[in-house]
A and B are shown apart, each in its own frame.
Chain A
Amino acid sequence: MLVGTLNNRKEALNTLNIDNIRAEFPILDQDINGKKLVYFDNAATTQKPQVVIDAISNYYTGYNSNIHRGVHHLAEKATSAFELSRKTIKEFINAESTEEIIFTYGTTDGINLVAQTYGRSFLKAGDEIIISTMEHHSNIVPWQMLCEEKGCVLKVIPINDEGDILFDEYKKLLSEKTKIVSVVYASNALGTVNPIAEIIEEAHKVGAVTLVDAAQAMSHIDIDVQALDIDFLCFSAHKLYGPTGMGALYGKKELLNKMPPWRGGGEMIKEVTFEKTTYNELPYKFEAGTPNIADVIGITAAIDYVNKLGKKNIADYENELLEYATERFEAISGLKIIGRAKVKVSVLSFVIDGIHPQDIGVLLDQQGIAIRTGHHCTQPLMQRLDLVGTSRASFAVYNTKGEIDRMVEGIEKAKRFLL
């Protein structure tokens, strides 16, 4: 258990009181189109508890100041709150040191950083990068850009119709040419939880470096980067009850040290003359310019919040919701659940015979129910499954079975309209 060394950490509750939890999310208490809001778009972004909102607003009202360089009281206070977030993340994922935690704009930014620094420096023509069929565009495009520039080759792990990767096929793709294996931990479109430990183990056997896209996994699955021997891991705070446009990249220190800086500017330097610049130490080498201080501080509040509830309690409850919803959805005629992987996070994608996913989304919205429709930024996956898109309900800790019942009624109503 990683909880305990920092202030304000309480013992994890054994059973969650969902009514109390809901009351901590002010946004949930509103009507949309005359109906009480049901928010089932949590894979896109989660809502924020009051403690996170307060942490951000307290910074601006109480101690807004630039960090690291100031000698005055406010600058010191802001700097320690900022650096506390690094420590909080370090403990949350069990990194070895805070130097291994680089603040980024989010998952996408982290993957680009690795592609543009590690990739550009250490990969050459003919080297291979492996991703999977179910990647988010964020974990496809940066590698395609790198391949284009360096003449590397992108290989894709196939999946079966249920949405599980074909592990034997993955092993066949691996060779001494494989330099990077970059795979999503939990799929935003199907819910699939990939066997990340085994994927990493196999990649390491051929000497490849691994990147884990933990955007969806972070709020549902306990992640220990040392136990999993992850080389790079990226996540976004906003899918973890934290602020948007903010996240972190974890990288093993030895790798980060070898990598050149990416963006140039203030903070990332040690000394600048017009002739030559020497770069700062980790993690500052990768953090040019004044960062988004308020939102970095918000991450501590978000992670503390998750720790207070207990990730396992959250996951257990969300699984209960997923099972309940799966059962209820299976009883809807013409509805087909897309994504039947053995292990899933609380993402439920579906299609209905004869109905375009967007039409379902629009009619649910009329009933106050927010879901996502479309390709979920996984167009190659949709092509593989031969779908134009899906409708997707994704659950968070504040959702309830009653809300799932409302969605089922909503879908039945939409079907009456559309068929």
Chain B
Amino acid sequence: MTIKEIQEEIIEDFELFDDWEGKYEYIIDLGKSLPKMSDEFKTEDNVIKGCQSLVWLNAYTEGDKVYFQADSEAIIVKGLVSMLLKVLSGHKADEILNADLYFIEKVGLAGHLAQTRSNGLASMVKQMKMYALAYTSQELKI
């Protein structure tokens, strides 16, 4: 699926909920089911700045695809991060770089997210794009 298609799927999922409780239950479940990140990746370098709770992000490539792993101490953040992974992980670097992430706004989370948390999410997206950028320039060099 393309990044756009995955976003559409998430938006559809969220349309099932008409109150915050359903949405948050869903996000918390996502958070709980995100695989734990192994401690070796929980390094100072992998910490995302701008998050109120600690968030770690790690990236690696397989073939021409970029994959992300992430973790957080706070479960709601972890759920949100897990959605970002679902959308961006496993795509080509240039697709990630050019992705327009509109689903956060669309599922009505932007309004529900306090400033610090949306900043955290923004930093997270920025960092993912930075990784993608690093990989595209590596490709260019080859």
Contact = CB atoms under 8 A, between A and B. Distances in A.
Contacts of A355: 75
Contacts of B112: 33, 366
Nearest to A355: B75
A94 interface: no
Interface residues of A, number: 14
A365 B114 CA distance: 9
B117 interface: yes
Contact of A362 (B25, B54, B114): B114
A336 to B, nearest CB: 17
B24 A366 contact: yes
Interface in B87-141: 112, 114, 117
B74 interface: yes
A197 interface: no
Given A366-B112, A374-B52, A388-B53, A358 B77 contact: yes
Contacts of A362: 24, 76, 114, 117
Contacts of A365: 114
Contacts of B76: 358-359, 362-363
A13 interface: no
A356 interface: yes
Contacts of B77: 358
B20 interface: yes
Contacts of A388: 53-54, 73
B53 A358 contact: yes
Contacts of B28: 417-418
The A contact surface, by secondary structure, is helix
A358 B52 contact: yes
B24 A356 contact: no
B52 A418 contact: no
Given A417-B24, A417-B28, A359 B75 contact: yes
Interface in B1-41: 20-21, 24-25, 28
A417 B112 CA distance: 17
Contacts of A359: 74-76
Interface string A323-338: 0000000000000000
Contacts of B54: 388
A373 interface: yes
A418 B20 contact: no
Contacts of A33: 20, 112
A418 B76 CA distance: 9
Determine which residue in B52, B73, B112, B114 has the highest number of CB atoms from chain A within 10 A of its CB, and name it: B52
A358 B72 CA distance: 11
Interface string A368-410: 0000011000000000000010000000000000000000000
Contacts of B25: 417
Residue among B20, B21, B75 facing the most chain A CB atoms (10 A cut-off)? B75
A388 B55 CA distance: 13
A299 B118 CA distance: 34
Nearest to B112: A366
Contacts of A417: 21, 24-25, 28
A119 B54 CA distance: 36
Interface string B50-71: 0011100000000000000000
Given A356-B53, A363-B24, A417-B25, 5 more contacts: A358-B74, A359-B74, A362-B24, A373-B52, A418-B28
24 contacts: A33-B112, A356-B53, A356-B73, A356-B75, A358-B52, A358-B74, A358-B76, A358-B77, A359-B74, A359-B76, A362-B24, A362-B114, A362-B117, A363-B24, A363-B76, A366-B20, A366-B24, A373-B52, A374-B52, A388-B54, A388-B73, A417-B24, A417-B28, A418-B75
